[in-house]
Amino acid sequence: MAERSENGEGAAGEVDFVARLRAGDEAAYAELVRAQGGRMLAVARRLLRSDDDAADAVQEAFVSAFRAIASFEGGARLSTWLHRIVVNAALMKLRTRSRRPEVSIDELLPKFYEDGHHVDEPSEWKSPSQLDALERQETRNLVREQIDRLPADYRTVLMLRDIEGLDTKETAELLGVTPNAAKIRLHRARLALRGLLDPHMRARGAL
């Protein structure tokens, strides 16, 4: 079963599974799509925020993966490799989208007086670890909405690093910028997101 061979943490099982794919085993391809497709669709939906575009990205990602399976190197997990491919497919789609009017990142960053002190005194937040199940779902939706308010370049870097878990080097390569530029953009994106979440996350405020 794909669930066991692909997700069962068995390196030997995965080697056998990849061998079946390389041999053109149709059942293995069906197992792969069923085992990994749901997660890949979730990734594409998070990045694209459109079910139709996400479905296209997943299909394109699988077609790319099927073509490239001969070059898959065992150094990475198959699931990790597919994750990178669907992220790339989603980014290609994002680049073809016309940009909507967006707020300047400067308006979302924290403000300081000339002497360097905070203009708005930071408030304590409710701890994310204290959220119950319902609050977690509500908060997850809230965070998604606020991420979508970030300017596109900042939203993308934050999605790649903090949501999809890519490292700075991979993120920089995908965005065509230096690792230092990716880090600076990420930091500004986090500061902006913190500011957008602040009115909702204050310890005494309602979610």
Closer CB to other proteins, 101 or 114, in the complex: 114
Helix residue ranges per DSSP H, 69-104: 78-96
Please tell me whether residue 103 binds other proteins under the rule CB under 8 A.
Answer: no
Kindly identify the residues of this chain, within the stretch 143-202, that bind other proteins according to CB under 8 A: 143-144, 147, 158, 162-165, 183, 186-187, 190-191, 193-194, 197-198, 201
Of residues 2-61, which lie at the interface with other proteins (CB under 8 A)? 22, 24, 26, 29-30, 33-34, 37-42, 46, 55, 58-59
Q: Which two tokens stand for residue 36?
A: 């990994």
Q: How far is residue 198's CA from residue 119's CA, in Å, rounded to a whole number?
A: 14
Between 74 and 165, name the residue whose CB sits nearer to other proteins: 165
Separation of alpha carbons 147 and 207, rounded Å? 16
Report CA-CA distances (Å) from 191 to 42, 90, 156, 187: 25, 25, 14, 6
CB 31 within 8 A of CB 2: yes
Helix, strand, coil % in the chain, rounded to nearest 5:
70, 0, 25
Told to check if 204 binds other proteins by CB under 8 A, we report: no
Residue 94 is a binding residue for other proteins (CB under 8 A): no
Query: Minimum Å distance from CB 103 to other proteins?
Result: 18
Dihedral (CA of 88, 91, 95, 96) sign: positive
* Cα distance between residue 126 and residue 128, in whole Å: 6
Applying CB under 8 A, what is the total number of residues that bind other proteins? 56
Q: Using CB under 8 A as the criterion, what x/- string covers residues 116-145 for binding other proteins?
A: xxx--xxxxx-xxx------x--xx--xx-
Which residues contribute to the site for other proteins (CB under 8 A)? 22, 24, 26, 29-30, 33-34, 37-42, 46, 55, 58-59, 62-63, 66-67, 110, 112, 115-118, 121-125, 127-129, 136, 139-140, 143-144, 147, 158, 162-165, 183, 186-187, 190-191, 193-194, 197-198, 201
